[in-house]
Amino acid sequence: MKISCIAIDDEPLAVKKIAAYIQKIPFLELVAECRSAFEAMEILNTSKVQLLFIDINMPDFNGMDFIKSLTERPYVVFTTAYSEYAVEGFEVEAVDYLLKPITFSNVLKAANKVKNIVDLKTNNQKESTKTIVDHLFVKSKYKLIRIELDQIKYIESQHEYIKIHLSSGEPVSTQLSLKSIEEKLPSDKFMRVHRSYIVKLGRITVMERNRIVFDGKVFIPIGEQYKDKFQKFIDGA
């Protein structure tokens, strides 16, 4: 997904130069070149813009005052010949402050800062909208049975069936493959440790001779192909 942006500068050569740099960066999309803050305001009223590359010292309405006037601010990168505005620039939460003459590497570095912020924000939003899975339903003996994930100790494959062992009550058998139920379980709470076993990581309390021990009598071996991943869990990686 590209980041939409505007280049704003009252100097024709300066705005053309910034616009040309923007067009060289694959993840940026140039929406407009503006010669004043008033032109930029019209664009913001009609288009979704995420990033402004804006000069400060412009006639009639300078870039700093323009940014302060916005109720919803895009990300801001100031482009100016005057270093004395730097502190004020960061007070309005500008991502970067570029001093003229501005090079392509300056613009690229600032753009990457914005991209990192956008990517982090997007990932956080995705994480917050994930559905929290705390149970599943399985078919057993012509009934649909709800199983709370917190109750599962381990799951055992038995040919075309699996047996779900619980912390209380009898195990539940259902006609599923171990692979299909593994796909339904949150990977941060359950791990396949053998071609015939999935274990609830939070239930592991005892290890003995490369085996997980449940209730002092059930010994679940760690399969060769699962050893490295399981060892990372044990080491806290």
Ordered mean pLDDT values, 10 residues apiece, the chain (237 residues): 95 96 97 96 93 93 92 92 77 90 96 93 68 82 90 92 91 91 89 95 90 92 92 80
Longest CA pairwise span in the chain (Å) = 82
pTM, to two decimals:
0.55
Query: Can you read off the two tokens belonging to residue 93?
Result: 């939460």
End-of-domain residue from the set 128, 162, 185: 128
Residues 123 and 158 occupy one common structural domain: no
Q: What is residue 152's predicted lDDT score, i.e. its pLDDT?
A: 95
Domain count, the chain: 2
Q: What is residue 162's predicted lDDT score, i.e. its pLDDT?
A: 94
Residues 65 and 110 occupy one common structural domain: yes
Domain that residue 194 falls in = 135-234
Q: Are 162 and 178 in contact (CB under 8 A)?
A: yes
End-of-domain residue from the set 77, 97, 128: 128
CATH number of the domain enclosing 96: 3.40.50.2300
Residues 111 and 190 occupy one common structural domain: no
Q: What is residue 132's predicted lDDT score, i.e. its pLDDT?
A: 61
Q: Are 85 and 78 in contact (CB under 8 A)?
A: yes
Residues 120 and 7 occupy one common structural domain: yes
Q: What is residue 128's predicted lDDT score, i.e. its pLDDT?
A: 57
- Determine phi and psi for 98, rounding to 5 degrees: -105, 130
Other residues' Cβ atoms within 10 Å of the Cβ of residue 62: 18
Three-state DSSP state, 20: helix
- Determine phi and psi for 97, rounding to 5 degrees: -140, 105
